[in-house]
């Protein structure tokens, strides 16, 4: 892909919008589409063209980048009755950067090939901050030739690593999400213990950052937990989508992964209690609730403040 290549960008939510803007800033000719049109209209000030119809956005593209919420949504938008894949030029490159299952990646790649399209699965890690700063970790599955063709696009978004054949990008993302979810549990428990024991959690975090317990999650999300800032960079509802997919794959592989199961149960409880739209660092609220250090009313008040803040930001 050259800097002037035509790119259709499908899905302009928390991460998709800054990703599309960064591609336009790098010189690519980007046309964006989103189911909720208002979320893509703001991109026009960044040089992104906006289409109200996904098929029209993809009609003359050299590459379509998909950043939708889930595997089923990707399947519907790409291959449903009005699916965009059939509208793409033969030989165009379809790059699914959404987090979907390994099985879904294989299925959708095969359907793309039947239509004469090339495929890469390339999920990302780094959250909204990484999307804005163009520092995303990009885990790519597919043929090396396609990876090299897409490299200029990936490098405008972050750091790509070619993992292996189709589906291995999604496998790497599941491994990433397993690690993130488990570490969020550990950091939440650690800060809760510090808090309950009478230590200043901020000072404990400061001390831990100087030793082997240091991690990006302790640094970034530990601070969120201490500040009580749960405005979503990575909503908790997407965490359980990924942990559920990792559980399904673990079963297929005959693996017992107890930490993954615990993390999934804790995040499910957070989401079932109304915290699905909060940042996944809000897991500490569920642990506080379980330990009698946060009432349901206090928790719900936090949820409402975050929801209201999001509404205010959108108006």
Q: Give the residue extent of every domain in the chain.
A: 6-164, 171-314
Q: Tell me, what DSSP letter sits at residue 235?
A: B
CATH of domain 171-314: 1.10.1040.10
173 carries an active-site annotation: yes
The CATH homologous superfamily to which domain 6-164 belongs is NAD(P)-binding Rossmann-like Domain (3.40.50.720)
CA distances from 251 to 193, 264, 266 (A): 33, 14, 19
Pairing of strands 136-141, 124-125: antiparallel
Exactly one of 39, 42, 132, 173 is catalytic; name it.
173
The beta-strand segments (E) located in 3-150 are 6-10, 29-33, 49-50, 63-66, 93-96, 118-121, 124-125, 136-141
What is the greatest pairwise CA distance in the chain?
64
> What residue has token string 């673990």?
250
Tokens of 305: 């403040």
pLDDT tens sequence for the chain (315 residues): 676 799 999 999 999 999 999 999 999 999 999 998 888 888 999 999 999 999 999 999 999 999 998 999 999 999 999 899 999 999 999 999 999 999 999 999 999 999 999 999 999 999 888 999 999 999 999 999 999 999 999 999 999 999 999 999 999 999 999 999 999 999 999 999 999 999 999 999 999 999 999 999 999 999 999 999 999 888 899 899 889 989 999 999 999 999 999 999 999 999 999 999 999 999 999 999 999 999 989 998 998 888 887 666 654
């Amino acid at each position: 892909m050259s800097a002037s290549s035509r790119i259709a960008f499908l899905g302009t939510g928390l991460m998709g919008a800054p990703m599309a803007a960064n591609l336009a800033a790098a010189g690519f000719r980007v046309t964006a589409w989103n189911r909720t049109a208002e979320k893509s209209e703001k991109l026009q000030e960044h040089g992104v063209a906006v289409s109200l119809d996904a098929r029209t956005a993809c009609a003359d593209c050299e590459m379509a980048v998909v950043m939708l919420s889930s595997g089923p949504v990707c399947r519907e938008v790409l291959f449903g009755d009005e699916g965009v894949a059939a509208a793409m030029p033969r030989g165009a490159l379809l790059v699914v950067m959404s987090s979907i299952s390994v099985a879904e990646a294989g299925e959708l790649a095969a359907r793309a090939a039947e239509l004469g399209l090339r495929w890469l699965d390339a999920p990302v890690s780094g959250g909204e901050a990484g999307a804005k700063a163009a520092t995303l970790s990009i885990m790519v599955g597919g043929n090396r030739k396609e990876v090299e063709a897409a490299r200029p696009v990936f490098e405008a978004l972050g750091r790509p690593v070619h993992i292996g054949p189709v589906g291995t990008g999604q496998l790497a993302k599941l491994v990433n999400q397993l690690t993130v979810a488990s570490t969020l549990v550990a950091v939440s428990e650690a800060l809760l213990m510090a808090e309950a024991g009478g230590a200043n959690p901020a000072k404990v975090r400061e001390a831990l950052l100087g030793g082997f317990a240091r991690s990006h999650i302790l640094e970034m999300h530990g601070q969120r937990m201490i500040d009580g800032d749960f405005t979503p960079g990575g909503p908790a509802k997407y965490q359980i989508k990924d942990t559920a997919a990792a559980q399904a794959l673990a079963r297929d592989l005959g693996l017992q992964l107890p930490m993954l199961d615990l993390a999934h149960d804790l995040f499910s409880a957070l989401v079932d209690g109304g915290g699905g739209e909060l940042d996944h660092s809000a897991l500490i609220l569920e642990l506080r609730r379980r330990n009698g250090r946060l009432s349901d009313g206090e928790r719900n008040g936090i949820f409402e403040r975050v929801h209201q803040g999001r509404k205010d930001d959108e108006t």
